[in-house]
Chains A and B, each alone.
Chain A
Amino acid sequence: AQTVTQSQPEMSVQEAETVTLSCTYDTSESDYYLFWYKQPPSRQMILVIRQEAYKQQNATENRFSVNFQKAAKSFSLKISDSQLGDAAMYFCAALRSSGTYKYIFGTGTRLKVLA
């Protein structure tokens, strides 16, 4: 069975600084997909970034990038130049490629951005 672990319940970062959120996962699948979602307080959950496990290149979306270490089963999210609007709950999620729609979510990391 797949599991996703986020070991940091809460993180803080100073505005304009860089922060890294950790995520590890366990799967016996050879092909899968990994996601980071952001859920601001009382607002919609939105996709931050997506990584295909068969691609070695780390995904990047503007200030957001991942460090994908397939052998270590690690998928961390780096936020550069943090902004007040980045404050949110961040969930790491995994999805098998073998015809299932069952996304497995981690327990989340609450990110606080300090002015």
Chain B
Amino acid sequence: DTEVTQTPKHLVMGMTNKKSLKCEQHMGHRAMYWYKQKAKKPPELMFVYSYEKLSINESVPSRFSPECPNSSLLNLHLHALQPEDSALYLCASSQAGRLGQPQHFGDGTRLSIL
């Protein structure tokens, strides 16, 4: 069973649309991550939240807007995306406050921009 749940699993949107990706975990993890992954490539870090505060933003374009409304939820708001933004978007979580903790990944949302 996937302990990190991502919805939707697939999303097709036009370049002018606004949509959101959702990620939820109930493992008590206080670090949550968004990654972008292209086919046959490693995940690229986008954002990290620790204790519900944005701690890392890897210079991601402003058309991607993260939000962490509580310790279990992580959203990624999308607006005016480009075709090159088509990718698998992975959410992950890990324990915070303890060194070297592994990440738990969701199944991802496969995003296609028309």
A-side residues, CB < 8 A to B, are: 32-33, 35, 37, 43-47, 50, 52, 89, 91, 95, 97, 101-103, 105-108, 110
A108, closest chain B residue (CB)? B42
Taken together as a complex, chains A and B put the C-alpha atoms of A33 and B105 apart, in Å, by 18
The answer to whether A50 touches B45, judged by C-beta atoms less than 8 angstroms apart, is no
Chain B interfacial residues counted at CB < 8 A: 24
- Do A46 and B105 touch across chains, with their CB atoms under 8 A apart? yes
CB distance from A11 to the nearest CB of B (A): 14
A104 to B2, CA, bound (A): 23
In the complex, residue of chain B having the shortest beta-carbon distance to the beta carbon of A99: B99
A-B contact count (CB 8 A): 49
Roughly how many angstroms separate A16 CA and B105 CA in the complex, as a whole number? Answer: 28
* Contact residues, B90-112 vs A (CB, 8 A): 90, 94, 96, 99-100, 102-108
Contacts of A35 in B (CB 8 A): 102
Of A45, A52, A89, A110, the contact of B105 (CB 8 Å cutoff): A45
Complexed CA–CA distance, A76 and B51 (Å): 33
| Contact among A97, A103, A108, A110 for B103, CB-based, below 8 A | A103
Contact, CB under 8 Å: B106 / A44: yes
Q: Which of B2, B31, B41, B43 contacts A101 (CB 8 A)?
A: B31
Interface centre among A33, A52, A89, A101 (most CB of B within 10 A): A101
Is B56 in the interface zone, CB < 8 Å from A? yes
